[in-house]
Amino acid sequence: MKNKTVIITGASSGIGEATSYAFAMQGANVVLAARKLDKLNEVKQHCEKFGVQVLVVKCDVSIEQDCINLVDQTIRTFGGVDVLVNNAGISMRAIFADCDIKVLKQLMDINFWGAVYCTKHALPYLMDKKGTVVAVSSVAGLVGLPARTGYSASKFALEGFMQSLRIETLKSGLHVGMIYPGYTASNIRNVALNNTGATQQESPLDESKLMQPETVADAIVYMVKKRKRQQILTGIGKVSKWLNILLPSQSDKAVYNFVAKEKDSPFK
């Protein structure tokens, strides 16, 4: 990865932050994109300790012009793009019947359209380098997750988009990868939207027991280097995928019971 150029969205925290460090450790120049400029600059300082060049771009991926600017600044600084990691995303926790429709729209704007915008405008440069585009999905992109209708919808949409893109570019040399972490320790649940669109503040899970973002970051780097098409990172994710295909009724019950056990579950 030495001297390759990697764009990472949602780079200010969680999986995005850890992925920035993982690529910097491999010698890649990193482009850090997120809305929080102060936090991005902290990540930049850490990345620079590995002797790589770092570009910080304030970017709201739900705004197409911000994504255009992200790619333009990358090209002006580094002359090309080798890897795009579509990681920026938010979650939600609310029963659909009680949920303001604007919540689902916001989820789609960030999780789906943000990836589409960044991929669209980086694609010519990625294809020129026979590079890689990776989307960070979730087990919720393989199996519908109750109380996360907007989140699952955005990840299922991302799945279809990336699969179609892979097939369209099959003979171009572009590598298209999807990665499916399980529940990962981060602030995504703290800032998840409730039924009115406000952040829920408190995570319903014990974050200390969840997959660490560094594990996901290492898997993303491995995926890029080995040009793997997909990685499901947990046993429960792999079981969920096949249970949903082979025994869908049992899968529905298992997922319902799993979510019902969460702290302050909306099903209680």
| Active site residue ranges | 151
Contact criterion met (CB below 8 Å) for 33 and 117: no
CB atoms within 10 A of CB 29: 21
Which 3 state secondary structure label does DSSP give 69? Answer: helix
Which 3 state secondary structure label does DSSP give 249? Answer: helix
Contact criterion met (CB below 8 Å) for 32 and 44: yes
Query: In the beta sheet, which residues pair with residue 6?
Result: 30, 83
What is the DSSP secondary-structure string of 27-57? T-EEEEEES-HHHHHHHHHHHHTTT--EEEE
What end-to-end distance do the CA atoms of the chain give, in Å?
Answer: 49
Structure tokens that stand for 27 in this block: 């010698």
Query: In the beta sheet, which residues pair with residue 230?
Result: 178
Structure tokens that stand for 68 in this block: 């255009």
The residue behind tokens 């620079």 is 48
Structure tokens that stand for 116 in this block: 């589409």
Contact criterion met (CB below 8 Å) for 87 and 59: no
Contact criterion met (CB below 8 Å) for 141 and 233: no
